[in-house]
Chain A
Amino acid sequence: MERKIFEDLQRKTLKCFEYFNKAPIIECFLINPLGEKQPVDEPLIVEIDTGYDGHVLISEHLYHKLKLFKFELPEEKQPIIETVSHEYIRAKAAYGFLEIPSLNLKIRTQIETFEDCQEMLIGREILSNLIIILHGTLKKLCIFK
């Protein structure tokens, strides 16, 4: 039954990504506004985090590699990240694009990081542009038309 529902859904599916390390992920590239892409060859595997209400959070290293400090928002508009333990972290944010090549989709977004950040995740601001189903039993994340 469950499989049948999924097969029905699959007909309307644009793309499914298998969970990675038991977590829903999207394979994507990040592109700066001059068109420089990271990574160059294989896409990034980025976890979906519905607990993060920002756009895309990336490591500080990748932020520098993409030269995002050349497309940075004014400090007054850069977000402050409030963690679950009520810590407040001053973030840096820049304009860029998130590309999902398998969907031929490019979303203009803000890309965020903070000092010594090693995390990479896609937050709710990006998810609000997509129709997504998390199929827990099949361990797949599917993006719909």
Chain B
Amino acid sequence: MGVYIRGVDEKVYREFKAESVRRGLKIGEAVTEALKIWLNKHRKEEDSIDIARKINNATYRMIKGKLLRDHLGKWIAIADGRLMAVADSLEQLCKENKEIFEKYDHVLVDQVTPEERRIVRWRGRSLKIYREKH
């Protein structure tokens, strides 16, 4: 399959082409390999985020009662399956615990309230009118 891709950085492409020639690969073969590596990298990242998300949510469900008792109205951060920080505001939580947000793949952030999930209605954009041009 042939593709034409716009917006490729010229310098990067030149280096990429030189490297693929050096390795005895056709440009198509090298690009295919690069695309596969890129896809795998991002899938692995997403997998690790998903795993961390599940662990953090399980922790949240486990300690929810205690959070409501001890930290009502406060902002919390759960990462690596542990309650990592408690603060008075979102700004304070992020400012004073920057390393948590930089280190972990997924952080669960919440203001502790008894609030439950809500249904959000979306009644607009799905009704788009398409007109044919004459």
Contact = CB atoms under 8 A, between A and B. Distances in A.
A84 B49 contact: no
A81 B108 contact: no
A49 B108 contact: no
Interface string A70-102: 111111111111111100100100110000000
Contact of A52 (B91, B105, B117, B124): B124
A84 B98 contact: no
Nearest to A57: B122
A108 interface: yes
B119 to A, nearest CB: 5
Q: Which secondary structure dominates where chain B touches chain A?
A: mixed
A49 B101 CA distance: 32
A120 B64 CA distance: 32
Contact of B53 (A34, A69, A108): A69
The listed residue with most A CB atoms (<10 A of its CB), out of B60, B108, B122, B125, is: B122
A70 B101 contact: yes
Nearest to A33: B94
Contacts, number: 107
A28 to B, nearest CB: 18
In the complex, which of the residues A34, A49, A57, A72 has the most CB atoms of chain B within 10 Å of its own CB atom? A72
A71 B117 contact: no
A135 to B, nearest CB: 19
B15 interface: no
A71 B101 contact: yes
A94 B90 contact: no
B6 interface: no
A86 B6 CA distance: 39
B64 to A, nearest CB: 8
Contact of B94 (A34, A53, A54, A81): A34
B57 interface: yes
Interface of A: 33-34, 47, 49-54, 57, 69-85, 88, 91, 94-95, 108, 112, 119, 121, 123
15 contacts: A34-B102, A52-B120, A52-B124, A53-B121, A53-B122, A69-B53, A74-B110, A79-B120, A80-B118, A81-B121, A82-B119, A83-B122, A84-B127, A88-B119, A95-B109
